[in-house]
């Protein structure tokens, strides 16, 4: 079976076309991600609700509700294979996700709106779930040099990932404000159990928290991740988020034709 190794702003995935196949996705996630050290595994399947179905698994074999950068990559994968056109609808565990091809490498997706947005789940820490059931995120500001301090933050972020305040566990996202509408991001990711170079839903959750606090001018957030820069756009009114978009780069790194 051919496997495509892709990344979106450094968030990397092993991807297969599983239509018409019976596969053990959890086992393949562990096996294939072990080859490249990828963050996750994705499979395209048939759908009666969208153009195709996305099955997403973390590198430890656990199933994930959705993945923002993964959704952008799977849109490119589906377009390149002729499964979908330049505008598409993806069925995910967190709900339907709309995607757009902007250029060969740039893709945009409409993330699920927050199903839960609790700005004070813990002191100074917001809890956001995108979708219903949603992808869980803890979001907190950091006043130091986030990337320089990365390793010293590991134990703190890992503890938050398992904190009982987050019953499903959480992806932990710290952000450093560079200027209004621009942040530096660091994510410790559930299921990967380590830092990842980017997290699309984490950036989206951060954008939602900032918007709710009136700290996102124009509703647009430029989020610098160690693997690349993502753009988040929040649309809403009267304290209600009505739409959330994620845009950024995708890359096909390598094909494994016979795994």
Q: Which residues are marked as active site? A: 67, 199
SS (H, E, C) 177-237: EEECCEEEEEEEECCCCEEECCCHHHHHHHHHHHHHCCCCHHHEEEEEECCEEEEEEEEEE
Kindly state the greatest CA–CA separation across the chain.
53
Q: Which of 58, 61, 30, 42 is nearest to 250 (CA)?
A: 42
Distance CA 255, CA 173 (A): 31
The alpha carbon dihedral of 218, 219, 225, 228 has a sign of negative
Strands (E), the chain: 3-8, 11-17, 40-45, 52-58, 87-92, 95-101, 106-111, 114-122, 125-131, 134-141, 171-179, 182-189, 194-196, 220-225, 228-237, 240-249, 251-256
CB 230 within 8 A of CB 203: yes
């Amino acid at each position: 079976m051919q496997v495509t190794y892709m990344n979106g702003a450094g968030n990397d995935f092993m991807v297969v076309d599983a239509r018409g196949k019976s596969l053990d996705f959890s086992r393949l996630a562990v096996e294939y991600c072990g080859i490249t050290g990828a963050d996750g595994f994705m499979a395209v399947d048939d759908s009666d609700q969208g153009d195709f179905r996305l099955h997403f698994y973390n590198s430890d074999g656990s199933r994930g509700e959705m993945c923002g950068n993964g959704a952008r990559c799977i849109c490119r994968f589906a377009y390149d294979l002729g499964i979908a056109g330049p505008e598409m609808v993806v069925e995910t565990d967190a709900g339907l996700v709309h995607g757009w091809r902007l250029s060969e490498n740039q893709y945009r997706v409409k993330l699920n709106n927050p199903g839960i947005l609790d700005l004070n789940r813990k002191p100074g820490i917001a809890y956001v779930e995108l979708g219903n059931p949603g992808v869980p995120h803890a979001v907190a500001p950091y006043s130091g040099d986030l990337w320089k301090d990365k390793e010293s933050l590991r134990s703190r972020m890992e503890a938050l990932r398992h904190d009982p305040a987050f019953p499903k566990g959480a992806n932990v996202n710290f952000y450093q404000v560079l200027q209004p509408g621009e942040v530096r991001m660091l994510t410790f990711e559930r299921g990967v159990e380590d830092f990842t170079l980017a997290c699309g839903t984490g950036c989206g959750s951060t954008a939602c928290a900032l918007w709710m606090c009136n700290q996102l001018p124009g509703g647009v957030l430029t989020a610098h991740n160690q693997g690349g820069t993502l753009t988040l756009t929040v649309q809403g009114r009267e304290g209600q988020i009505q739409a959330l978009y994620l845009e950024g780069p995708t890359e096909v790194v390598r094909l494994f034709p016979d795994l």
